Structure 1
Amino acid sequence: MTRITALIENTGQVLTCAKDAPDLVGASKNTVVAISGDTIAATGTPEEIAAQFDLSEAERIDANGEMVMPGFVDCHTHLVFHKSRVEEYAQKVRGATADEVRAMGIPVGISATARMMREASKEQLFESAKERLDYMLAFGTTTVESKSGYGLNTETEIKMLEVNQDLNEHHSIDIISTFLGAHEFPDDKDREAYIEEILTEMIPEVGRRKLAEFNDVYCDDGYYTVEESRKILEVGEQHGLKIKIHTDAYSHIGGSTLAAEMGAVSADHLNYTAPEEYAKLREAGVVGVVMPALDFAVGHTKPFNSRAMLDAGVTLALATDMCPGCWLESMPFVIQLACRLYKFSPAEAIRAGTLHAAMSVCREDSLGSLEPGKKADIAIFPYERYEDMAYRLGRGQASKVLKDGKVVYDAGAVS
Structure 2
Amino acid sequence: MAQITAIVENAGQVLTCADDAPDLVGASQHTVVAISGAEIAATGTLAEIAAGHDLSAAERIDAHGGLVMPGFVDCHTHLVFHKSRVEEYAQKVRGRSADEIRAMGIPVGITATARMMREATKEQLVASAAERLEHMLACGTTTVESKSGYGLNTATEIKMLEVNQLLGKRQPIEIVSTFLGAHEFPDDKDRDAYITEIMDEMIPEVARRGLAEFNDVYCDDGYYTVAETRAILQRGLEHGLKIKIHTDAYSHIGGSTLAAEMKAVSADHMNYTDPSEYALLREAGVVCVVMPALDFAVGHTRPFDARAMLDAGVTLALATDMCPGCWLESMPFVVQLACRLYKFSPAEAIRAGTLHAARALKREDRIGSLETGKQADIAVFPYERYEDMAYRLGRGRASLVMKAGNVVFDERV
Q: TM-score, normalised by structure 1?
A: 0.99
Q: Following the alignment from structure 2 to structure 1, what is the Cα–Cα distance between the partners of residues 355 and 54?
A: 29
Q: Following the alignment from structure 1 to structure 2, what is the Cα–Cα distance between the partners of residues 59 and 243?
A: 41
Q: Following the alignment from structure 1 to structure 2, what is the Cα–Cα distance between the partners of residues 342 and 213?
A: 30
1:65-214 equivalences in 2 (<5 Å): 65-214=65-214
- Matched AA of 1:283: E
Shift of 1:239: 0.4
1:382 aligns with 382
Q: Can you give the 5+ residue segments of structure 1 that lack an aligned partner in the other structure?
A: none
1:52 aligns with 52
Alignment deviations for residues 4-43 of structure 1 (CA, whole Å, 9 cap, x no partner): 0000011110000000000000000000000000000000
Alignment deviations for residues 165-207 of structure 1 (CA, whole Å, 9 cap, x no partner): 0001111000000000000000000100000000100000001
- Matched AA of 1:159: K
Q: Can you give the 5+ residue segments of structure 2 that lack an aligned partner in the other structure?
A: none
Q: Alignment identity in percent?
A: 81
SS in 1 for 2:64: coil
Shift of 1:411: 1.8
1:259 aligns with 259
Shift of 1:357: 0.1
Q: Does 1:289 align with 2:296?
A: no
1:336-355 equivalences in 2 (<5 Å): 336-355=336-355
Shift of 1:241: 0.1
Q: Following the alignment from structure 1 to structure 2, what is the Cα–Cα distance between the partners of residues 283 and 67?
A: 34
Alignment deviations for residues 37-95 of structure 1 (CA, whole Å, 9 cap, x no partner): 00000000111111111101000000001000000000000000000000000000000
SS in 2 for 1:76: coil
- Matched AA of 1:310: L
1:40 aligns with 40
- Matched AA of 2:262: M
1:196-275 equivalences in 2 (<5 Å): 196-275=196-275
2:392 aligns with 392
Q: Tell me which stretches of 4 or more aligned residues in structure 1 moved more than 2 Å.
A: none
Shift of 1:296: 0.1
Alignment deviations for residues 92-140 of structure 1 (CA, whole Å, 9 cap, x no partner): 0000000000000000000000000000000000000000000000000
Q: Following the alignment from structure 2 to structure 1, what is the Cα–Cα distance between the partners of residues 23 and 375?
A: 22
Q: Following the alignment from structure 2 to structure 1, what is the Cα–Cα distance between the partners of residues 44 and 114?
A: 50
Alignment deviations for residues 345-369 of structure 1 (CA, whole Å, 9 cap, x no partner): 0000000000000000000000000
SS in 1 for 2:282: helix
Q: Following the alignment from structure 2 to structure 1, what is the Cα–Cα distance between the partners of residues 114 and 54?
A: 55
Q: Following the alignment from structure 2 to structure 1, what is the Cα–Cα distance between the partners of residues 385 and 166?
A: 37
- Matched AA of 1:82: H
Shift of 1:234: 0.2
- Matched AA of 2:214: F
Give the superposed CA RMSD.
0.6
Q: Following the alignment from structure 2 to structure 1, what is the Cα–Cα distance between the partners of residues 412 and 180?
A: 38
Q: What is the aligned length?
A: 413
SS in 2 for 1:68: strand
- Matched AA of 1:102: R
2:370 aligns with 370
Q: Following the alignment from structure 2 to structure 1, what is the Cα–Cα distance between the partners of residues 365 and 12?
A: 26
1:312 aligns with 312
2:322 aligns with 322
Q: TM-score, normalised by structure 2?
A: 1.00
Q: Following the alignment from structure 1 to structure 2, what is the Cα–Cα distance between the partners of residues 8 and 46?
A: 10
Q: Following the alignment from structure 2 to structure 1, what is the Cα–Cα distance between the partners of residues 305 and 391?
A: 20
Shift of 1:412: 3.8
Shift of 1:341: 1.2
SS in 1 for 2:76: strand
SS in 1 for 2:361: coil
- Matched AA of 1:282: R
SS in 2 for 1:41: strand
Alignment deviations for residues 363-411 of structure 1 (CA, whole Å, 9 cap, x no partner): 0000000000000000000001100000000000000000111110012
- Matched AA of 1:105: G
Shift of 1:305: 0.6
Q: Following the alignment from structure 1 to structure 2, what is the Cα–Cα distance between the partners of residues 314 and 15?
A: 22
Alignment deviations for residues 211-267 of structure 1 (CA, whole Å, 9 cap, x no partner): 000000000000000000000000000000000000000000000000000010000
Alignment deviations for residues 293-337 of structure 1 (CA, whole Å, 9 cap, x no partner): 000000000011111100100000000000000000000000000
Q: Following the alignment from structure 2 to structure 1, what is the Cα–Cα distance between the partners of residues 43 and 199?
A: 48
Q: Following the alignment from structure 2 to structure 1, what is the Cα–Cα distance between the partners of residues 9 and 329?
A: 28
